[in-house]
Amino acid sequence: MASEIHRASTTAPVNIAVIKYWGKRDPKLNLPTNSSLSVTLSQSDLRTHTTASCSPTYTHDELILNGSSQDVSGARTQACFRELRTLRKQLETTNPSLPALSSMPLKIVSENNFPTAAGLASSAAGFAALVRSIANLYELPASPTELSRIARQGSGSACRSLFGGYVGWEQGSQPDGSDSLAFEVAPASHWPTMRAVILVVSAAKKGVSSTTGMQTTVATSSLFPVRANDTVPRRMAEMQTAIQERDFESFAKLTMMDSNSFHATCLDTWPPIFYLNDVSRAAIKAVEAINHAAGKIVAAYTFDAGPNAVVYFEEENEGIVAGALRKLVGEKEGWKGEAKSDDAVVEKVVKEAGVVQELLREGVSRVICTGVGEGPVKTDEHLV
Ligand code: DP6
């Protein structure tokens, strides 16, 4: 039938790294200079929903994100389409009774349940959903690890969004990238009590993109080789142990030190790159004050290529961590439940906050309360 439309849909999560990917050894294939590790966040709060469709009646490949048409001619999107079509073509060659989907134009429709402009890792969820939905459409017998090789070429961090829970990305050493793949460190069920509050900080102007920023860092920073060759390999191993043992204090310290190390290489880039602003630094101070008042490490901050703070903590400390952050930031869109009544630790943090409280109140536009979550989920809700 000429008018037939084939379709498949999925949702895919955002991930926030606790050991950061920063630096490419091959910019075309998005092969990194170091391994990285992230926590996949719950799709109830942050997800991309994508329908991949193909039809002999379509005239060209098309991608629509949140209602507006996107350019698909870029090398990254093209690489994903090409790789997935090649895998489909192999199936069709082996089994000629299959419909020739690989030669039909694709129409991909995608929607985020969070504001794209908030500067959250939307490219990671976006490319993970794009690759997973086309793989479903093509009925490819590919595992998340195999698909991570393809999603990586869309955006490096996207390879980690094919899994839920705690996810590593092995840098690999092959020039063709065949061993630069994502892997599951632990499922969400291994450590389900991990929570995160994202403080969305409004940036005056858009900063340097991660792609450009990391290239400049690799080319100019003298701190960078130490980070890539020594610091990160050591911390990758320590972080995996911390996760296996559900050792929050080690997890948190490594997370904060790695974020600081990454932003130090940004400052050491020439010309320097500043992703953190005064509000971000106020968030760091707030987390330090919370940990100090609690008498142990109960919260960890981390920052990507922008000013938003992501604060990880365990559910049992929600009252202290989210409670103190809420008092400091004020009643903004996104807090869940009632504001907690007084708590000695929270009181202590607020009493000593001073200018930190002013900066957070003024600079945080909204918050997102979330936690560790699952990987991509197939859905029958189609957008085409
Ligand atoms: C700071 O994955 O956005 O968020 O591969 O060029 O698309 P490209 O970069 P991208 O970089 C993410 C960098 C980061 C750290 C991380 O997520 O590991």
Q: What is the pLDDT of residues 144-182, one digit of tens each?
A: 999 999 999 999 999 999 999 999 999 999 999 999 999
pLDDT grade for 119, boundaries at 50, 70 and 90: low
Residue 204 has pLDDT above 80, yes or no: no
Q: Answer whether 163's CB lies under 8 Å from 124's CB.
A: no
Residue with tokens 């919260």: 299
Q: Answer whether 153's CB lies under 8 Å from 124's CB.
A: no
| Domains of the chain, start order | 2-191 (3.30.230.10), 194-371 (3.30.70.890)
pLDDT grade for 122, boundaries at 50, 70 and 90: confident
Q: Is the CB of 33 under 6 A from ligand 1?
A: no
Residue 157's SS3 state is helix
Q: Answer whether 7's CB lies under 8 Å from 51's CB.
A: yes
Q: What is the predicted pLDDT for the residue at 339?
A: 80
Q: What is the predicted pLDDT for the residue at 171?
A: 98
The Å distance, Cα 362 to ligand 1 centre, comes to 28
pTM of the predicted structure, to 2 decimals: 0.97
Q: Which residue has the higher pLDDT, 341 or 297?
A: 297
Instruction: Give, for ligand 1, the residue of 157, 162, 254 to mutate: max count of ligand atoms closer than 8 Å to Cβ.
Output: 157
Q: What is the predicted pLDDT for the residue at 324?
A: 96
Nearest CA to ligand 1 atom 1: 304
Residue 298's SS3 state is coil
Alpha helices (H) in the chain, listed in sequence order = 75-94, 122-137, 144-154, 210-220, 224-226, 232-244, 248-267, 278-294, 318-329, 344-353, 355-363
Q: How many helices (H) and strands (E) does the chain have?
A: 11, 16
Burial environment of residue 333 by CB neighbours within 10 A (0 to 12, 13 to 18, 19 or more): exposed
Q: Which residue has the higher pLDDT, 72 or 205?
A: 72
The Å distance, Cα 337 to ligand 1 centre, comes to 32
Pairing of strands 68-70, 24-26: unpaired
Report percent pLDDT > 70 for the chain: 97
Rounded Cα–Cα distance for residues 283 and 355 (Å): 11
Q: What is the pLDDT of residues 106-115, one digit of tens each?
A: 999 999 998 7
Atom from ligand 1 closest to the CA of residue 214: 6
Nearest CA to ligand 1 atom 5: 156
Rounded Cα–Cα distance for residues 108 and 50 (Å): 7
Q: Which residues of 101-114 are buried (b: 16+ CB within 10 A; e: fewer)?
A: bbebebbbbbbbeb
Element (H, E) at 301: strand 299-302
Rounded Cα–Cα distance for residues 26 and 216 (Å): 14
Q: What is the predicted pLDDT for the residue at 230?
A: 98
ipTM exceeding 0.85, yes/no: yes
The Å distance, Cα 18 to ligand 1 centre, comes to 12
Instruction: Give, for ligand 1, the residue of 210, 236, 261 to mutate: max count of ligand atoms closer than 8 Å to Cβ.
Output: 210
Q: What is the predicted pLDDT for the residue at 206?
A: 74
